[in-house]
Amino acid sequence: MALKDFLVYVDQTEDSLVRLRLAVDLAVRNDSYLTAIFVKEWSRDQLDLRKAAELGLVSAAGLDSLDRRIETSIDAVAERLRSTLETLARKHGLVAELRCVDGVASVVLPQHARYADLCILGHDQPEGPASVNYTFAEQLLFVTGRPMLFVPPLTSPKTLGRHIAVAWNSSRPSARSLNDAMPLIERAEQTTVLIINPSGFIGAHHALPGDHIVEHLRRHGAAADAVRIYDVAPDSVADRLQAEARALGADLIVAGAFGHPRLWEKLLGGVTYDLLARMSLPIFMSH
């Protein structure tokens, strides 16, 4: 099934412009409709400013003035994003819209994401109690039922999905992510399957050799090959994956997401956690 309906989450940060441009690049090559969703909620800095004003015994009139300034700045960001998206859409002949909604992003975004084929967003810092300690992005991966494409802050490539690196270990999560990303892989200029410590999972799980997954991709018309990397320490797998992907010129990594969302505690698999915590390239994941 082709991916024809993309959703990109944009907010008040400068990173949103990076995500928006990359989402446009991906949507154009996949002939997809693009929706940018902007939730008109206050940022942490704005909430802290309001709290500081209250503790500083600012008058009611002063608080009202502060509230209006913050709301005006949020509206200005929305208009800037709308203008940027309209300019990019005209330039590339893309059908796109900016959707501005009220509410809290952690509540609003999962519902909107379920009505799209793919959600593109950044990766933030952990928030909430220590027993949960998931980022907003990780929560969306668990609760939407849709694949997520995480974009690191400001260090992203200029394109998205032209050369895809697939992290493959024959597990259920890697197979799920690979299958969900297949429409992107079919349209990519190059796909490289990165197989780290292949003897570990082939011998332990009676998995097929990596050549089989390359042939599977080629049957879908993908320009695919494989790179095998040996003797990587378990705690270095995520970093080595990203280093190899960057060296190959990849602009997107497809990886399985290991985790236990029903328990809502910090039980992300080691490689998944490391990839998200030290992300240097965009990463496509499904759960």
pLDDT of residue 130: 38
pLDDT of residue 155: 65
pLDDT of residue 222: 97
Domains of the chain with CATH codes:
5-45+73-151 (3.40.50.620), 163-286 (3.40.50.620)
- Give the separation between CA 201 and CA 123, rounded to whole angstroms: 29
Question: Is residue 231 helix, strand or coil?
Answer: coil
pLDDT of residue 258: 73
> Which of 132, 89, 142 has the alpha carbon at shortest distance from 258?
142
- Give the separation between CA 14 and CA 268, rounded to whole angstroms: 28
Going residue by residue through the chain (287 aa), what tens digit of pLDDT does each one get? 789 999 999 999 999 999 999 999 999 999 999 999 999 999 989 999 989 988 887 888 888 999 999 999 999 999 999 999 999 999 999 999 999 999 999 899 999 999 999 999 997 654 444 334 567 877 888 889 999 999 998 766 789 999 999 999 888 889 999 999 999 999 999 999 999 888 766 665 667 888 899 999 999 999 999 999 998 888 888 899 999 999 999 999 999 887 554 444 444 556 777 888 888 899 999 98
- Give the separation between CA 76 and CA 78, rounded to whole angstroms: 5
- Give the separation between CA 261 and CA 250, rounded to whole angstroms: 29
pLDDT of residue 265: 43
Alpha helices in 15-171 (DSSP H): 15-29, 44-55, 60-92, 105-113, 136-143
**Residue 193 in contact with residue 210, Cβ under 8 Å?**
yes
Q: How many angstroms from the chain centroid is the CA of residue 196? A: 23
